[in-house]
Amino acid sequence: MTVVKRTCPAASSVLEVRSALLSVAQCLASPIDVAAFLSALPATSLDAPLTALRELLTRPGPFSFEWPTPDLDVVTESDRTLVRIALPALVSVRAQGVKVFARLFNRPAATHAIKCLDHFAQRFATKLTQLHLDATLTYSDAFCVLLSRCTHLESIRLAASGSNVLTAVTTPNHRVRSIRLEMELVKTTPRWTPLLTKWLSSGFASRVKVHTPLIADVDDLALAIATTPSLRALFVHHSDAILHALLATRRALSQIIELRVVTDETDLIPRLLQLVDHSAMKVLEFLGAADFSYILALLPQLPSLHELSLHYCTLGAMPLDTSTWPQLRTASFEGVKFEANTFDALLAYLVRATHLTEVVLNGCALVAAKIDLLSRALPQWMQQGLTYLSLVDNQLDNRSAALLAIGLREGRNVAPLTVHLHGNSLDVHGVRMLLDALATCECVRIQLNLDESVLAPCAKELHALAAARRMRVDLLDDDGIQVLYSPIKVVE
């Protein structure tokens, strides 16, 4: 009897299983790691979406700073084709308005925005997780049907008054966790409370922002907010009726661990702070024309706090023992009038801090005089994971740029880093110094807004300088913003 042996097919390599490679790439939180992973693979093992993703993450540009959930609004014209090809490889995307979809598909926004969103949703509806709907478009019932297919939406921002939109994204098939109502220009009083109350009781609601002075049934809405156990974050922006109604409930807000308030009635803030659980509070953000020194004095009682943001207030003279402060990850101060000793104590705390990921010191008159101290702290912050440094409107000059350049050269960042320098007094010489420093960095970008007349004569020179060092310079865009990008990987 003749025995015929069947040949066994060769075992498949994991490199031949595209879905496995895609899953690995999507699981990596760092764009630097994703770029390294995809670059290590043979080109033949990558399909078109992964090839496009590798290209986006291995060349200077905004995409590396947006991973893992890119904002389509920041996609530049030169990157749009690659982004469209890479869409199947992305876990999710964000959109700051419907018009971004028209730009993504190179169509006129005024007439094609909703059509382009529909085209996107036909294949990628479940990839859209955050959407901002502004008040410049009319959202029809047909559009709401389109939204009903975007069942993976996690965050929706509404600047239009149509309740049909809110109904469309709070169906039983949706899992929206964050709703932001930003309708300060609405002249009528939308009846949001029944819809919001239904959403708050769904078990998915974790964040709510109210930015409208006109709310019907405000007492009912306040009671629903106070009694929603799943709610973790509350942002009330110039909606003082909500604040008064919350206080009138006389209920503890112990479930709220993120509190953000913008108000002219700043005497309401300490009363709200009495309602929250100090030991659990993670985020505090306040804006108001008042002395918020008492908030700094409260910090030793907030051991879990990781973000403190104070805006357009005063921080007067007071004894500060910053050794008992919590380990902040985000420290943001904008338009603050500091007493000198208070600023020095805060700066000493920031310099010693070991967990900072974001530092914002905007419009603070004392920053320019302390720029040498900040530049010396920069390498340490970069090594510890800093992702955002904003020094906007501080009258920084070319000397300041030179000091920041030294800090960038000496640092080695472990995460993509953005340095925001709008509204300062740099000229093209400062830009050159920053470009020289960026040539030694990996995945760092600097945002500026110099006058066009300053940069236009030197644009070709700056582009050539950047290209020779595998960098990128985006100059003179429609918003008057310039962005300088370091190489993604330093070439030794």
- DSSP one-letter string for 212-246: -S--TTHHHHHHHHHT-TT--EEEEES-HHHHHHH
- Kindly report the pTM of this predicted structure: 0.91
Which residues constitute the domain of residue 403? 357-487
Is 189 within the bounds of a domain? no
DSSP 71: B
Neighbours of 467 (CB within 10 A): 12
State the Cα–Cα distance between residues 354 and 110, nearest whole angstrom.
Answer: 47
Is 471 within the bounds of a domain? yes
Is 80 within the bounds of a domain? no
Amino acid at 13: S
State the Cα–Cα distance between residues 52 and 370, nearest whole angstrom.
Answer: 43
User: By three-state DSSP, how is residue 75 classified?
Assistant: coil
Q: At what angle do helices 371-383 and 340-352 cross, to 10 degrees?
A: 30
Query: Where residue 432 sits, what CATH number does that domain have?
Result: 3.80.10.10
Name the one residue in this structure whose structure tokens are 């559009």.
Answer: 143
DSSP 9: P
Total domain count, the chain: 1
pLDDT tens sequence for the chain (492 residues): 455 555 545 444 555 567 889 999 999 988 989 999 999 999 999 999 999 999 999 999 999 999 999 999 988 888 999 999 999 999 999 999 899 999 999 988 767 888 999 999 999 999 999 999 877 677 888 888 999 999 999 999 987 666 788 889 998 899 999 999 877 555 555 677 888 999 999 999 999 999 887 777 899 999 999 999 999 999 999 999 999 999 999 999 999 999 999 999 999 999 999 999 999 999 999 999 999 999 999 999 999 999 999 999 999 988 788 999 999 999 999 999 999 999 999 999 999 999 999 999 999 999 999 999 999 999 999 999 999 999 999 999 999 999 999 999 999 999 999 999 999 999 999 999 999 999 999 999 999 998 888 888 888 888 898 989 999 998 856 667 899 999 987 433
Is 422 within the bounds of a domain? yes
Q: Which of 357, 269, 352 is nearest to 306 (CA)?
A: 357
Is 404 within the bounds of a domain? yes
Paired residues of 95 in beta bridges? 131
Is 211 within the bounds of a domain? no
Is 389 within the bounds of a domain? yes
Name the one residue in this structure whose structure tokens are 């030169």.
Answer: 78
Is 237 within the bounds of a domain? no
DSSP string, 287-323: E-SSB-HHHHHHGGG-TT--EEEEES-EE------GG
